[in-house]
A and B are shown apart, each in its own frame.
Chain A
């Protein structure tokens, strides 16, 4: 799918804090006018563009330390997401975005990195929303973010969000279902993560994603979680870091999120070579409940 032809050039990457404020208002508006939680059919037909985004060395170092990445001058693929995704978020708080920002669940993420971006590169970010579609639990949408440098596409991320309980106007009951969730049997762990209670706050500080569900038990409880939950992209990026240098500079990094990681947590982890790359899984050590699975496949 190609990006909408209508481009809106933003002067800079918007702050996620401000976006959450606007998202709250927009969510409330959708809640009122949406009646029985049904969504409009159309996504904003616009591509947001920010032309000159640059990584800052101290910010990169803080990210690499928090995510257990080697502190090289190459930008980890998850760090590019941190830099670029607010541009996509800006779309999600537009008055004409059909789904409420708050309560949307990040269910999957897929990044194609064609080459490593480096500290000092001038990054051009484009973002749009596509493929609004029914899901058995609500409505899904893809947020696409592309990052180019020197005119060439270097990084492309597709973040899939689910608005639970929100139905498209003409979605039939037998809305397209995901493949039945396969029962998860924990494999042999290769390690575990020690995630302290404040890891949500620490990733929020680095990523700017201060969604209240990640910040404290109190703010998370207000939104229906018993405790703060880890950012999905934090866990996915930790798994990418665990794969290490074997991923190379060009790879596909895909992840599907299952049960959220309630903080603090010490989930069991398996990151191991698979046929054509590395596979990873993260699960609760006692209950065996799956938190996320994914794959990192180097490009040939």
Chain B
């Protein structure tokens, strides 16, 4: 430890600001296949699944007994007893017990936020290595007691006399014993995410056909990637599941067209959102291995992509100013502007498919001249994203969406793709950078976006 300067004689040496931060790299990833709620992982807890995903990563990269700089992960639906979920998963994993850990929660952006914050620590030199992750189960979701029962139990535990205890118990009514199950509706608007997105879908006149096409493409691309062995070094089978249980390789526009709309039924506009073009409730976990160039070299690992930058955003959906899931629409232009980039400079764009229409309303806003001028402060439309660089290996509609696990799934997938593309380009004599954008919308009107560049 450096000697302290006595406080009476102020140090004359100015604290030197660190040089431009070094790069932090995605070195690989591992997840378990995602299961549909109430399916294969119905008996597995968040800790079970996160530990399984961690152990798969440890096995894949030979990290047994290794002390990793820090592990950050989280779950959206988390029981209060899981206050140290990530640390407990680390203790149950093959990592050294001396590996520190912390929990993160930013709704569906949780997984990406762990990647961003750990990368920043690596860039600042606080860490050499890190594991980002996320897990969620809707099958083993925590159930709370009603507020009134909770109040009575708390007062009971604070009561000092038998009379006070009796008074507390006497307040109980039979209906207070009904459990309070977790909900996916927004606390301030009481509308589900689907009902919110239905408003945005109607506002942007997104058709049923366009949504079904997005869903079909997601299933087809994910199935193709599995068939090509793309996920062989990204996914470890768990509990007998080898592929994402939601994947329907044989789905078709005809099959998707037969499904009845489930959201937006009370609106003036036709209801277009179905179980087929919305993500189902899913169980699963994902992890991403991050490190400095030095740590990667020392461990004989190949950096896949640098986590260059990130930008969070939020919208006022409570007062209907913007749609609940539209925050990335505002965050991405800020993120790209910081690097002098436009949508055209991106080789890949990953937009989390909360709903097919989330992708389509995002693109529609970026393609709108009026929106670009009036809301984004640009000269015109922000730009377009062709489908050949959008969600190239499928996304949440096909894979499913265990809330906090989605960020890790996307980052590991696109980092591998970036590295392969760059290697092919360099082999062909082209040294141009290869970039990907990751955009994830989240409850509460939140959005988190990140810029990755092939290493």
In contact, A285 and B266 (Cβ under 8 angstroms): yes
In the complex, how many angstroms separate the beta carbon of B323 from the nearest chain A beta carbon? 11
Docked CA distance A273–B318 (Å): 11
- Contact present for A193 and B190 (CB under 8 Å): yes
Report yes or no: B321 in contact with A191, Cβ–Cβ below 8 A. Answer: no
Binary CB contact string for chain B from 101 to 144 against chain A (1 if under 8 A, 0 otherwise): 00000000000000000000000000000000000000000000
A251-B188 Cα distance, complex, nearest whole Å: 22
Assembled-state Cα–Cα distance A189/B195 (Å)? 10
Q: What separation, in Å, do the CA atoms of A274 and B187 have in the docked complex?
A: 23
Report Cα–Cα, A190/B320, bound state, in Å: 5
Contact across chains for B320 and A270 when beta carbons are under 8 A apart: yes
Q: B319 interface residue, CB < 8 Å from A?
A: yes
Given contacts A188-B199, A285-B266, whether A273 and B319 have CB atoms under 8 Å apart is yes
Q: Whose C-beta in chain B lies nearest to the C-beta of A196?
A: B175
* A193-B190, A194-B190, A285-B266 given; A188·B319 CB < 8 A: no
The verdict on A162 contacting chain B, using a C-beta distance below 8 Å, is no
Tell me which residues across on chain B come within 8 A of A248, comparing CB atoms: none
Which B residues between 190 and 243 are near A, CB-CB below 8 angstroms?
190-191, 199
Residues of B291-327 whose CB lies within 8 A of A: 317-321
- In the complex, the answer to whether A271 meets B190 with C-beta atoms within 8 Å is no
Question: Which residue of chain A lies nearest to B186 when distances are taken between CB atoms in the complex?
Answer: A191
Q: Which residue of B lies closest to A285 (CB)?
A: B266
Taking a contact as CB atoms closer than 8 A, the residue among A242, A285, A286 that contacts B188 in the complex is A242
- The reply to whether A278 and B319 form a contact with Cβ atoms under 8 Å apart is yes
Query: Residue A17 at the B interface, CB < 8 A?
Result: no
Within 8 A of A (CB), among B155-199: 186, 188-191, 199
User: In the bound complex, how far is the Cα of B191 from the Cα of A192, in angstroms?
Assistant: 7
Q: Please, how many angstroms separate the alpha-carbon atoms of A194 and B321 in the complex?
A: 22
CA distance A244 to B187 in the complex (A): 14
Q: Is there an interface contact between B320 and A272, defined as CB atoms closer than 8 Å? A: yes
Chain B, Cβ-Cβ closest to A269: B189
Q: B318's contact among A190, A193, A194, A285, by CB below 8 Å, is which?
A: A190
- Is A191 a contact of B318 with CB atoms below 8 Å? yes
B204–chain A nearest beta-carbon distance, Å: 13
Given the known interface contacts A271-B319, A272-B319, A273-B321, the answer about A191 and B199 at a Cβ–Cβ threshold of 8 Å is no
Instruction: Tell me the complex Cα distance, A124–B188, Å.
Output: 34
Give Cα A150 to B191, complex, Å.
43
Interface residues of B in 318-374 (CB under 8 A from A): 318-321
B186 shortest CB reach to chain A, Å: 7
Task: Please measure, in the bound complex, the distance between the C-alpha atom of A11 and the C-alpha atom of B266, giving whole angstroms.
Answer: 53
Instruction: State in angstroms the CA–CA spacing of A259 and B320 once bound together.
Output: 24
Taking CB atoms and an 8 Å cut-off, the chain A residues in 249-300 that contact chain B are: 266, 269-273, 278, 285-286
Chain A positions within 8 Å of B186 at CB level? 191
Q: Per-residue CB proximity of B423-443 to A under 8 Å, as 1/0?
A: 000000000000000000000
Chain A residues within 8 Å of B266, by CB: 285-286
A241 CB to closest chain B CB (Å) equals 9
Chain A residues with Cβ below 8 Å from B189 are 190-192, 269
Given the complex, which residues of A lie within 8 Å of B319, measured CB to CB? 190, 242-243, 246, 271-273, 278
Of all chain A residues, which has the CB nearest B175?
A198
Contacts of A194 in B (CB 8 A): 190
From A270, which residue of chain B is reached at the shortest CB distance? B320
CA of A271 to CA of B188 in the docked complex: distance in angstroms? Answer: 11
Within 8 A of B (CB), among A164-217: 188-194
**Interchain CB contact (< 8 A) of B320 among A188, A192, A243, A244:** A188
Cα-based distance from A193 to B191 in the complex (angstroms): 9
A192 to chain B: closest residue by CB: B190
A192 to B190, CA, bound (A): 6
Bound complex: CA A30 to CA B396 (Å): 68
Cβ of B146 to closest chain A Cβ, rounded Å: 11
In whole angstroms, what is the CA distance A243 to B320 when docked? 11
A133 to B180, CA, bound (A): 49
A247 to chain B, nearest CB (A): 12
Residues of A within 8 A of B190 (CB): 191-194, 266
Q: Output the nearest chain A residue to B321 by Cβ-Cβ distance.
A: A273
CA distance A193 to B188 in the complex (A): 9
Contacts of A285 on B, CB cut-off 8 Å? 266
Residues of chain A contacted by B320 (CB below 8 angstroms): 188, 190, 270-272
Compute how far the CA of A194 lies from the CA of B191 in the bound complex, rounded to whole angstroms.
10
Assembled-state Cα–Cα distance A199/B260 (Å)? 35
Residues of B within 8 A of A273 (CB): 319, 321
CA distance A286 to B311 in the complex (A): 41
CB-CB under 8 A from A271, the residues of chain B are 318-320
Nearest CB of chain A from residue B189's CB, rounded to whole Å: 3
Measured CA separation A192–B199 after assembly (Å): 13
Cα of A68 to Cα of B188 in the assembled complex, Å: 8
Query: Considering the chains assembled together, what is the distance between the CA atoms of A278 and B321 in angstroms?
Result: 12
Chain B residue numbers with a CB within 8 Å of A266 are 190
Considering the complex, give the chain B residue whose CB is closest to the CB of A268.
B266
C-alpha gap A192/B319 in the complex (Å): 12
Smallest beta-carbon distance A59→chain B, Å: 15
Cα of A246 to Cα of B318 in the assembled complex, Å: 12
Distance to closest chain A CB from B390 (angstroms): 29
Contacts of B321 in A (CB 8 A): 272-273
Distance in Å from the Cβ of B194 to the closest Cβ of chain A? Answer: 14
State in angstroms the CA–CA spacing of A244 and B317 once bound together.
13
Q: Which residues of A contact B199 (CB under 8 A)?
A: 188-189
* A-contacting residues, B272-296, CB 8 Å: none
Closest approach, in angstroms, between the C-beta of B328 and any C-beta of chain A?
A: 20
- Closest beta carbon of chain B to A1's beta carbon, Å: 35
B138 to chain A: closest CB distance in Å?
Answer: 21
Chain B neighbourhood of A188, CB < 8 A: 199, 320
CB-defined contacts of B317 to chain A, threshold 8 Å:
190
**Mind listing 15 A-B residue pairs with CB under 8 Å?**
A189-B199, A191-B188, A191-B190, A191-B318, A192-B190, A242-B188, A242-B318, A242-B319, A246-B319, A271-B318, A271-B320, A272-B319, A272-B320, A272-B321, A285-B266
**20 further A-B pairs in the complex, CB-CB below 8 A; given A188-B199, A189-B191:** A188-B320, A190-B189, A190-B319, A190-B320, A191-B186, A191-B189, A191-B190, A191-B191, A191-B318, A192-B191, A193-B190, A244-B318, A266-B190, A270-B320, A272-B319, A272-B321, A273-B319, A273-B321, A278-B319, A285-B266
**Residues of B with Cβ closer than 8 Å to A?**
186, 188-191, 199, 266, 317-321
Sort A-B residue pairs by CB-CB distance and give the 4 closest, nearest first.
Answer: A191-B189, A190-B320, A272-B320, A192-B190
